[in-house]
Amino acid sequence: QVQLVESGGGVVQPGRSLRLSCAASGFTFSSYPMHWVRQAPGKGLEWVTLISFDGNNKYYADSVKGRFTISRDNSKNTLYLQMKNLGGDDTAVYYCVRERSGWKLDSWGQGALVSVSS
């Protein structure tokens, strides 16, 4: 079955960097666009970024543009999110998510908690 497992979360000081990884299994990873979606504690869902199946196209929310970079290694079935210059507003659970045709995010990881605090 489809599995998405995030790792790399933790506590980080403001202004520092962090990289999240998402290990995918149970499907042909290289065939699907992938997203990161985040959720601040007690808040709603916020879309962060998308990468096309081949990595050639990337899109970002305005709130992270220029600070976050999405990438993927299809040979390792792994999705990444490099986050720089982190601030308190970036504190959230970050979900790795698969997109399927028909405009839907059909498989979600359990999430990685990123806490930005001094």
Q: How far is the CB of 16 from another protein (least distance, A)?
A: 25
Q: How far is the CB of 56 from another protein (least distance, A)?
A: 15
Q: Which of 23, 7, 13, 11 is nearest to 98 (CA)?
A: 23
CB 3, CB 51: distance < 8 Å: no
Please list the residues that pair with 10 across neighbouring strands. Answer: 114
Classify residue 103 by burial, with Cβ atoms within 10 Å: 0-12, 13-18, 19+.
exposed
Provide, rounded to whole angstroms, the least separation between the CB of residue 44 and another protein: 4
45 with 39: CB under 8 angstroms?
A: yes
80 is a site residue for another protein (CB under 8 A): no
**Is residue 110 involved in binding another protein (CB under 8 A)?**
yes
Handedness of CA 57, 99, 18, 65 (dihedral sign): positive
Tracing tokens 């790792």 back to the chain, one arrives at 7
Residue 45 within binding range of another protein, rule CB under 8 A: yes
Identify which of residues 13 and 102 has a Cβ nearer to another protein in the complex: 102
Does 92 bind another protein (CB under 8 A)? Our answer is no
Using CB under 8 A as the binding rule, whether residue 104 contacts another protein is answered as yes
Q: Does 111 bind another protein (CB under 8 A)?
A: yes
- Residues that bind another protein in the complex, under the rule CB under 8 A: 35, 44-47, 50, 59-62, 95, 102-106, 108-111
